[in-house]
Amino acid sequence: MEWTNAEAVRIFPNPAESYFVLSNLQAREGDRVELLDPLGRSVYQLEIGKMDGKSLRVQPGSELPSGVYWVRLGDTLLGQLQWK
């Protein structure tokens, strides 16, 4: 797994409650965004469709428990997200 430049992609709001945004995202249609729990298990996946620009709004839903998650795009860790 690779790390991306922390300045390249922003994750906000963080902490988040109902959605978060990935900005400056370098992604293609068909790429997958995942949330990983502290043990590295995938708890949420979103396949990216056609993007207008470089921002993506992600809404995991109310079934996602509160906690800290890693945000991954393909094999690249983008950063941590605190979910309320």
3-21 pLDDT, tens digit each: 555 458 999 999 999 999 9
Reported confidence tier of residue 51, pLDDT bands at 50, 70, 90: confident
pLDDT at residue number 84? 94
The CA distance from 66 to 16, in Å, is: 10
DSSP category for residue 5:
P
Bigger pLDDT: 6 vs 45: 45
Pairwise CA distance, residues 37 & 16, whole Å: 15
Query: CA–CA separation, 33 vs 42, rounded Å?
Result: 10
The 10 Å Cβ neighbour count of residue 52 is 6
In angstroms and rounded to an integer, the radius of gyration of the C-alpha atoms of the chain is 12
Global pTM value: 0.88
